[in-house]
Amino acid sequence: MFEWKKLGKVFDPKDLPASSWMKEFAQSPSVLVFRDFVRVYFCTRPSPSADGQYMSYLSYIDLSRKNLLEIIRICEHPVLDLGGLGTFDEFGTNPASIIQHEDEVRVYYAGWNRCESVPFNAAIGLAISHDAGLSFKRVGLGPVLSYSPDEPFLLGSPRIRKFGDTWYLWYVSGKKWLRTAGKPEPVYKIRMASSPDGLHWTKHGKDLLEDRLGENECQACADVMLQHGRYHMFFSYRESQDYKGKDGGYRIGYAWSDDMLTWHRCDDQAGLTVSDHGWDAEMVSYPHLFNLDGQTYMLYQGNEMGRSGMGLAQLSNPDRWSRK
């Protein structure tokens, strides 16, 4: 089993002064490492509109490299505007994943818009920064990964990695919408696409993980690390209904693979679960792993899918990577 030491909550927009543009949620953390600090990008929301509708924006905080619980800078405005009228990302950018490429910083994100028969739809967009990640511009008005005959519903939860000369994007593909007593709920599974340049993608066309909670299990946000010749995936999973509390809410799972196409799911080895009380006592989800100064860390979001903020954990048994 992986053993994680929880270091505590890192950030919650609700702790900011009332004048802040950020009001709720710190979702989908993703890291960019600089010489003296670590920039954590995440998705956040201003106050909802009069009819209760939210919009989601990309933001960041900078953490001291010497103390990852010390915030030294807070983003003063969104670093990526929402899309225009009728675009796929008109109402939100969430989740998101950051990667450095030569002199660029790229963000792959799920853009979503509102629908009539179901609450939303989503596709995956790309924006690029040429000022070290302080601002981003889209590569175009449309997504870089969208619906297709075998993936007819929402696409989202991108996580980007580059191994060798190949780019890999893990994402979720909607399988169906469930009619419920309330609003319709989506069912989605983790899939993968690859690319020679991070722009033009080939979908591999298969669900990567077996279900543990039945066919309507929702899986999301697969973050993959390569260690000692083996690929390690940490991801989120939950029930498709009644998931906003502790019983059916998100948990963090784990799987491993030697070829990135055949995955062996071993959730009992993930090693990080809900706390006995507090901001992450009901759910933990959307893990992001990064290496820093010889240590491995995991950022994750807490209760109510990040409404209670995001936290940090440190891997206590790094020799676990080398165990077959």
Cα gap 125→144, rounded to integer Å: 5
**So what's the pLDDT on residue 230?**
96
Choice among 21-25, 82-86, 233-237, 319-323 with the minimum mean pLDDT? 319-323
3-state secondary structure of 128: strand
> Looking at this protein, which amino acid is placed at residue 277?
H
In this structure, what are the phi and psi dihedrals at residue 305, rounded to the nearest 5 degrees? 55, 45
Task: Report the pLDDT averaged over residues 201-207.
Answer: 97
Q: How many CB atoms lie within 10 A of CB 50?
A: 6
DSSP secondary structure, 135-150, as one string: --EESSSS-SB--BTT
Cα gap 73→59, rounded to integer Å: 11
Average pLDDT, the chain: 96
Token pair for 230? 């083996």
Q: How many CB atoms lie within 10 A of CB 208?
A: 21
**So what's the pLDDT on residue 291?**
97
pLDDT at residue 227 is higher than 90: yes
Residue range 105-162, pLDDT digits in tens: 999 999 999 999 999 999 999 999 999 999 999 999 999 999 999 999 999 999 999 9
Residue range 263-281, pLDDT digits in tens: 999 999 999 999 999 999 9
CATH topology of domain 4-322: Tachylectin-2; Chain A (2.115.10)
Residue 221 host element (H or E):
strand 218-227
**So what's the pLDDT on residue 182?**
85
Q: For 209-259, where are the alpha helices, taking DSSP H only?
A: none
pLDDT at residue 21 is higher than 70: yes
**So what's the pLDDT on residue 52?**
87
Residue range 25-79, pLDDT digits in tens: 999 999 999 999 999 999 999 999 888 899 999 999 999 999 999 999 999 999 9
- Model pTM? 0.97
pLDDT at residue 324 is higher than 70: no
Cα gap 215→195, rounded to integer Å: 29
**So what's the pLDDT on residue 323?**
72
Token pair for 150? 């075998």
**Pair 289, 274: CB distance under 8 Å:** no
